[in-house]
Structure formats: C-alpha cells, structure tokens
Amino acid sequence: MLQTVNAFRDVVLCGDNRKVLQTLPDECVDSIVTSPPYYGQRDYDHAQQLGAEKSPDEYVRNIVSVFTEAKRVLKDGGTLWLNLGDKYLNGRLCGMPWRCALALADDGWNLRSDIIWHKPNAMPSSVKTRPTTDHEYIFMFSKSQKYFYDADAIREPHTTFSEHSKMRGGKGHFGKVNGTPENGKNKGNSNLHHGRWDVAFHPKGRNKRTVWNVPLSKFREAHFAVFPEKLIEPCILAGSPEGGVVLDPFFGAGTTGITAKKNGRHFIGIDVNPDYCQIAERRIREVLL
C-alpha cells in the first residue's frame, strides 16, 4: 500500500529495491543519486544482489528494471545521477557504463551529461598491455525535458586570470594592447584589449566541468569502497532544492544520506542487505548527531 513520502523521509528501507520502490508514492523524490554494484566485481553477500548476473545483457536488463520503477517516484523535474564502473571479460572491456546509459536512454530517460570521475589515488595495476584505469563514469539523466538544475550551486573557480591559466600572458592581459590571446576572428578588436575581463565572468565561478577529480574513500566497516562525499555533493546540490528529497536505491554504507543531510536535504535509502542497512543507520547517527 502506498504511503505519503513523509513516512519515508530520512529512513533506510531494507529489501529488494524494485519491491520497496513500489511502496513509494508517485513523484515523491527530487533527485536520485546512486552507485549500483558493478557487474562481476564483488560479492555483497546476498542472493538478490545486483552484479552477479550470468551475462552483461542480463545485468543491463536488471539495471533498467530498477530505474523504470525509480522513474515513477521521481518528480517530473527530477534528475538521476548514476555512477558506474567497467569490467574486463576475457581481456575485453565490456563497456558496461555505456551499455547501461544507452539502455536507459532507450527506456525513456534523457541522457544530459557524461561525467568522468578521475581518481587520483586509484589502485596501481600490474597490467602491461593497456593503460591503467583511473576513472569511472557518472551519468546525469533527466526524467523530462525541463528539470531542476542549480548551476550556481556547483560553480568552479575561474582559471582564466589565475596561476592555472593556460592563456598567453595570464594576468598581463589587463590594459595591454594585443595582450589578449585571440588570434581568430576577433583579432585586433580594441574592445578585447581594454575591456574589463575580470568582470566578464560569473561572480560565483565558471560552470562546472565534466571531469571531477575526487579521491577514493574507505569506510572501515564495509569491505567495499564507499561513495566519496565530495563526488556526490555536486549531484545533490545541483539536482535537488534545499529541503528536497534524494533517493538512493543502492544505499550501501549510507554516504548519499549523510551528504544529503549535511546539505539541507532529506533522503530515502534502500538496500537489500540487512547488514549494510544497519551499518548505514549507525553511520548516519554517528556522523549527524
């Protein structure tokens, strides 16, 4: 029986996410931020776990089935932020993140952005026949063509006039004829050389880029790497309003819930493993109290 969303706010629900999602009312969450178990990567000690399928195609079908139900509980203006890693089988890269992303697009989701999560502390590898992998993907989907997205909440510092600038002359542009880097159609335009470039940019910073450099995180009670808070914080800030509800149907150790609460949002967490549900509940209590 469906209940109001207030009955589920800031709680961890234990069970098969497809069945648990059926108990939630329509359009009750503002955003979904999650990282499902990757295909063939780990054993999460539960018979109903995702990731232990016999084939990549079966895994993709299960991913789609979860987010078909999740789409129902997402508001029309809501977004889905999905983190996925890849897998090698018989020496071949499966392309699992993109298989899932394209399957979700075929199922009606609007794929809005692919984000590279660069891991500066990625585990070293002894592989000698290809580059060492130090990235994963985050895919941003929307349910509808019009959706909530707060670009200002996640702006980055400008680099144009900083020590990180790649532009010829750096801060030497100011007030100097021919000091700007344009060599194309605007070359010779005096407005470029005498204008106030420092006020031509958004005061809160430049728009967020699609490569996010975030170190891996660990949690001693979980035998898997947990979602880094710094990785999912931009997803929550941009994808949901203050006081909104963030859903994670693969809750694990509860980092989505912790990050949501720290940023003035509510959460709904779902996980199939009772042990992880207990870990998440205890971790949330300890961090937030």
Same-domain check for residues 143 and 174 = no
Q: For residue 276, what are the domain limits?
A: 5-156+211-288
Same-domain check for residues 66 and 185 = no
Same-domain check for residues 106 and 13 = yes
Split at pLDDT 50, 70, 90, the class of 258 is very high
Of residues 172 and 49, more confidence is placed in: 49
- The span from the CA of 63 to the CA of 32, in Å, is 14
- The span from the CA of 57 to the CA of 206, in Å, is 39
The pLDDT of residue 157 is 87
* Residue range 217-225: mean pLDDT, rounded: 62
Asked if pLDDT for residue 200 goes beyond 60, the answer is no
Beta strands in the chain (DSSP E): 11-14, 29-34, 74-84, 88-89, 92-93, 110-118, 135-142, 211-213, 245-248, 266-271
The pLDDT of residue 158 is 80
The pLDDT of residue 6 is 76
The residue among 77, 69, 21 whose CA lies nearest residue 240 is 77
Burial pattern 238-266, b for ≥16 Cβ within 10 A else e, equals: bbbeeebbbbbbbbbbbbbbbbbbebebb
* DSSP string covering 88-105: EETTEE--HHHHHHHHHH
- The span from the CA of 208 to the CA of 239, in Å, is 13
Would 218 be classed as within a structural domain?
yes
Same-domain check for residues 87 and 221 = yes
When the pLDDT of each residue in the chain is averaged and rounded to a whole number, the result is 85
Would 162 be classed as within a structural domain?
no
Would 25 be classed as within a structural domain?
yes
Would 206 be classed as within a structural domain?
no
Same-domain check for residues 136 and 243 = yes
Same-domain check for residues 54 and 96 = yes
pLDDT digits (tens, 9 = 90+) for 224-253: 567 899 999 999 999 999 999 999 999 999
Split at pLDDT 50, 70, 90, the class of 124 is confident
Same-domain check for residues 36 and 144 = yes
Same-domain check for residues 44 and 119 = yes
Same-domain check for residues 146 and 225 = yes
Would 165 be classed as within a structural domain?
no
Same-domain check for residues 180 and 223 = no
Asked if pLDDT for residue 12 goes beyond 90, the answer is yes
CATH number for the domain harbouring residue 240: 3.40.50.150
Please give the model's pTM, rounded to 2 decimal places. Answer: 0.85
Asked if pLDDT for residue 145 goes beyond 60, the answer is yes
Would 42 be classed as within a structural domain?
yes
Same-domain check for residues 251 and 177 = no
The pLDDT of residue 183 is 47
Same-domain check for residues 174 and 77 = no
Judged by average pLDDT, the poorest of 96-100, 161-165, 190-194 is 190-194
Structural tokens at position 6:
């207030």
pLDDT digits (tens, 9 = 90+) for 65-111: 999 999 999 999 999 999 999 999 999 999 999 999 999 999 999 99
Would 37 be classed as within a structural domain?
yes
Counting the structural domains of the chain, the total is: 2
Would 222 be classed as within a structural domain?
yes
* DSSP string covering 188-251: T-HHHHHS-GGGSS-TT-BPP-SEEE---B--TT-SSPBPPHHHHHHHHHHHS-TT-EEEESS-
